Chain A
Amino acid sequence: MSDFGLRVKSAVGAILLTITDRITRLRYLTQINADTSGNTTLTDLTGHSTVEFSVMLETGGDPLQKCQHSVTRTGTQIAWVYQEGYSGAVKVYASAKSAIFVFMYT
């Protein structure tokens, strides 16, 4: 057990926050339309570990054969790329609208 830092407990003694926790902060959040790729630069990411991901947004219609955006980080740049695929001339899966999240945990 650490003997320094902050420890927050509830009224019944449960630990709410302690020195080894990685409480997580949402740095960036946006909605991206289908068939749209792009990026943004977040200069304050320097020196921080992040996890970035997307969730498909359904705004009408069945997402049976739709895909969320891929999201990657390079340095301080967060980029998103829409996903679609074909078999010959037939579209097998289509791009969906996505919510993009970037969490900082250091």
Chain B
Amino acid sequence: MSYGIKILNSDSEVQVDGNYRNISEVEEDTSATVDSYPELISVTNTPLVPIIAIRPSSDYFVTLFSYVYSDPNYTDFNMITEVDETSDPSSPPPVYSTSIDWKLYSETPSKSTDTHGLRIYNADSDLVFDAGKKYFNIVQVDQITLGNPTLPSGVPFTKPYEDITHSAISNPYYILSPIGFWWYSARDFTKYVYFIFRIGLKQISATSVRVGWFCYWRGFTGGAAQTGYNPTCNLITCDVH
């Protein structure tokens, strides 16, 4: 037997056993500003791979762009948001201002400071559950497939989106992956202008979120093209306890 205790939920799904460690919250922030490309948000340096979940605002799309890794530590993460795609392409596009709440989870091999409750170790004496920690908890997983951004004649870009409802939980945190990439360039009088897009999130209500393409950069280029990577995305809706 490889475990000393196994805890199942009401659907017979394993919550805690000795085979795998659970992931718990180690850092968070609220109302973090995102108003530049890219917005670099620092975390406490850690060699343990972080899992970062975000809660977007309702004004502009945002997406978690990348983790910054400087061997052997994860040091920051990058967020991006919408830009003014109608501005003069001869200078960097103005970035709209929004904010996010975020939580960082990772394996946490050290025990909490609590002196009461439940603490479970595996056969190697590694901590697998500690009642003093806030655990990463998937509430819902949705798969979303969007059309490509397009530019119908004479109107702004059409940027496909889909609204997702999670009635079981209010104001959750989300992980979205992959975030795709779409390039659209076209002739504008004597020059070619390009626009690039990613897939991001915007809050609709406490129990719903919009998943959609948004423009995060544009400039001049040498020719016309419409191409990119438009995958089916996983939207992971999370809660912590």
Contact = CB atoms under 8 A, between A and B. Distances in A.
Interface of A: 2, 5-6, 8, 10-11, 14-17, 19-27, 29, 31, 44, 51, 53-59, 63-65, 67-68, 70, 83, 85-88, 90, 92-93, 96-97, 99, 101, 103-106
Contact of B14 (A20, A53, A97, A106): A106
Contact of A26 (B107, B132, B225): B107
B241 A57 contact: no
Nearest to B52: A55
Contacts, number: 160
Q: Is the interface of A mostly helix, strand, loop or mixed?
A: strand
A57 B67 contact: yes
24 contacts: A8-B118, A17-B131, A19-B10, A21-B15, A21-B137, A22-B137, A23-B16, A23-B241, A24-B138, A27-B20, A44-B19, A51-B236, A55-B67, A58-B68, A59-B70, A64-B217, A65-B196, A67-B229, A70-B231, A93-B181, A99-B49, A99-B67, A101-B49, A104-B20
B138 A103 contact: yes
A26 B23 contact: yes
A59 B178 CA distance: 19
Interface of B: 7-11, 13-16, 19-23, 38, 49, 51, 64-71, 78, 107, 114, 116-118, 129, 131-132, 134-139, 141, 175, 177-181, 183, 196, 217, 222-223, 225, 227-229, 231, 234, 236, 241
Given A10-B117, A21-B9, A68-B178, A29 B217 contact: no
Given A8-B117, A93-B229, A106-B13, A25 B21 contact: yes
Cβ-closest 8 pairs across A and B = A53-B177, A87-B225, A25-B20, A106-B13, A56-B66, A58-B66, A23-B15, A16-B241
Contacts of A88: 223, 225
B51 A101 contact: yes
A67 B137 contact: no
B10 to A, nearest CB: 5
A17 B158 CA distance: 44
A23 B229 contact: no
B65 A56 contact: yes
A13 B133 CA distance: 14
B139 to A, nearest CB: 7
